[in-house]
Amino acid sequence: MRPGFYAALALTLLSHLAVAQSHPAPQLAVTPPMGWNSWNWFAEKVTDRDVRQAADLLVTSGMRDAGYVYVNIDDTWEGTRDVNGNLHSNDKFPDMKALADYVHSKGLKLGIYSSPGPKTCARFEGSMGHEDQDAQLYASWGIDFLKYDLCSFHNGVMRKEHPGDSPEAMLLQYAMMRDAYEKMHQALLKTGRPIVYSLCQYGFDAVWQWGPEVGANLWRTTGDITPKFDRITLIGREQAGLSKYAGPGHWNDPDMLEVGNGQLTLDENRTHMGMWAMLAAPLLAGNNLSEMSPEIREVLTNREVIALDQDANGKQAERIFAEGPTEIWSRPLSDGSVALAVFNFGENMSLLHGIRLHLKEAGVGSGWRARDLWAAKDLGPIKDESTFALKRHASLLLRLSHY
Ligand code: GAL
């Protein structure tokens, strides 16, 4: 044979390997991104001071160490463009670079927000026609995450260009939308900085089917969340069927957390958090960290619940049973165990007798044991007929493992 040829081949392979090792392919959002976002609590009032304080509190509350590392500024930071088209932040954010340096000094990452349209949803400056310039600006500040919200691109651009609701018009509108998202994707790539790319267009055109093609690391699957149990659980339940679209690097986003907001009870907060963890959803807290009660902190930082969300397999849960107000969802985990959630969405206490846990459907056979994650308690062997009492809006979150 030709030994020289094989030696050359081996050398080539080795050098490729060396190159691959010295430049490991950056892989963003390998698990669902975790952090905090300003919108759900501060909305348009957010300031530099609030963001710095949120960064401080993520550290002192233990949230950073539990995995919440992104500090995301939502809409209303934008100022005006100068004669060269360079965007400046407004008076509420006097120095973005200094803010990014501060957030980074705490071991956290900084996120920002814009729109493919001329205006954002709160009518601030959007990125249309300035995609490259804005992406370069974010990179120069040290931004690590961009939420890109459709807003005025919908009515002001795509529906103006192709009016009407006919299937033909909508196809053309949606093609424009995709192009706009791809444009910012390319602009972000050109910066050379790893920036998590978060699409926000409320699920139009089954975004989960094409989000990864435009470089999305996460995409909103629904309209806005509010701190109301019915809204939260409607959104959560609408994720049924979407598990096949999620995985490392690209996630379905049922919107930011409302844990600790509004008048949610402890059971409701746990149901919300547990549901999002089952769904391998991004966990972006949206509460006022400076007034967080110990109870809410415990819900947000429960390590065993977070471990479900952040499981390396990234397999989102699916619904395996629904009867009236009761639903059971399950997801397989990377160590061979299975997460099972039983939800009581109803208004009354429910004694789950006569409702099987549907263990077989969850891939659980005989000889398995259960751990109740909210109670932090081992329950021992689990049977399909095990009976539980669930209060109104409460849920049972189990981690099941083989003996
Ligand atoms: C909405 C978006 C919210 C928030 C808001 C800011 O479209 O869904 O999450 O970003 O805009 O104006």
Q: What's 214's DSSP letter? A: G
Identify the residue whose tokens are 């919107």.
255
**Environment class of residue 379 by beta-carbon count within 10 Å: exposed (0-12), middle (13-18) or buried (19+)?**
middle
Does the beta carbon of 372 lie inside 6 Å of ligand 1? Answer: no
Q: What pLDDT, in 10s, does the model give residues 137-171?
A: 999 999 999 999 999 999 999 999 999 999 999 99
Provide the percentage of residues in the chain whose pLDDT is more than 90. Answer: 91
**Who's near 340: CB < 8 A, 6+ residues apart?**
328, 329, 330, 357, 359, 362, 364, 370, 397, 398, 399, 400
pLDDT at 9: 45
pLDDT confidence band for 198 (50 / 70 / 90): very high
Does the beta carbon of 298 lie inside 6 Å of ligand 1? Answer: no
Does the beta carbon of 39 lie inside 6 Å of ligand 1? Answer: yes
From the CA of 70, how far away is ligand 1's center (Å)?
A: 17
The answer, yes or no, to whether residue 197 has pLDDT greater than 50, is: yes
Q: What value does the CA radius of gyration of the chain take, rounded to a whole number of Å?
A: 23
From the CA of 75, how far away is ligand 1's center (Å)?
A: 7
pLDDT at 354: 79
Q: What does the block give as tokens for 235? A: 């959104």
Does the beta carbon of 121 lie inside 6 Å of ligand 1? Answer: yes
Does the beta carbon of 75 lie inside 6 Å of ligand 1? Answer: yes
Mean pLDDT of 98-113: 98
Helix, strand, or coil (residue 27):
coil
Q: What pLDDT, in 10s, does the model give residues 106-117?
A: 999 999 999 999
pLDDT confidence band for 27 (50 / 70 / 90): confident
Signed CA dihedral, 221, 226, 231, 236: sign only? positive
Nearest protein Cα to ligand 1, atom 5: 121
Structure-model confidence comparison of residues 399 and 354, the more confident one: 399
- Residue 43 has a CB neighbour count (10 Å cut-off) of 12
pLDDT at 355: 87
For the ranges 186-195, 261-270, 381-390, the lowest mean pLDDT is seen at: 381-390
Mean pLDDT of 24-38: 87
Probe residue for ligand 1, chosen from 37, 40, 73, 121 as the CB with the greatest number of ligand atoms within 8 Å: 121
Question: Mean pLDDT of all residues in the chain?
Answer: 94
Q: Which ligand 1 atom sits nearest the alpha carbon of residue 74? A: 10
From the CA of 114, how far away is ligand 1's center (Å)?
A: 10
As a whole number of angstroms, the distance between CA 272 and CA 291 comes to 19
Mean pLDDT of 94-116: 98
Signed CA dihedral, 385, 339, 374, 251: sign only? negative
Pairing of strands 283-285, 34-37: parallel
Q: What pLDDT, in 10s, does the model give residues 3-17?
A: 444 544 444 444 444
Residues known to be catalytic: 149, 224
How far CA 341 is from CA of 141, 229, 237, in Å, comes to 42, 17, 12
Q: What's 337's DSSP letter? A: -
Identify the residue whose tokens are 């963001």.
51
Does the beta carbon of 48 lie inside 6 Å of ligand 1? Answer: no
- The neighbouring-strand residues paired with 78 are 89
**Which helix (H) or strand (E) covers residue 274, if one does?**
helix 266-278
Probe residue for ligand 1, chosen from 75, 113, 199, 207 as the CB with the greatest number of ligand atoms within 8 Å: 75
pLDDT at 183: 98
The answer, yes or no, to whether residue 71 has pLDDT greater than 60, is: yes
Does the beta carbon of 149 lie inside 6 Å of ligand 1? Answer: yes
Helix, strand, or coil (residue 79):
strand
**Which helix (H) or strand (E) covers residue 23, if one does?**
none
Q: What pLDDT, in 10s, does the model give residues 266-314?
A: 999 999 999 999 999 999 999 999 999 999 999 999 999 999 999 999 9
Is residue 267 a contact partner of residue 394, using CB atoms and an 8 Å limit? yes
Is residue 283 a contact partner of residue 319, using CB atoms and an 8 Å limit? no
| pTM > 0.75 | yes
The answer, yes or no, to whether residue 2 has pLDDT greater than 60, is: no
Which segments within 24-117 are labelled E, that is strand? 34-37, 70-72, 78-81, 87-89, 109-114
From the CA of 275, how far away is ligand 1's center (Å)?
A: 22
For the ranges 26-35, 68-77, 227-236, 373-382, the lowest mean pLDDT is seen at: 26-35
As a whole number of angstroms, the distance between CA 287 and CA 308 comes to 22
Q: Which ligand 1 atom sits nearest the alpha carbon of residue 224? A: 8
pLDDT confidence band for 403 (50 / 70 / 90): confident
From the CA of 115, how far away is ligand 1's center (Å)?
A: 10
Pairing of strands 87-89, 109-114: unpaired
From the CA of 55, how far away is ligand 1's center (Å)?
A: 21
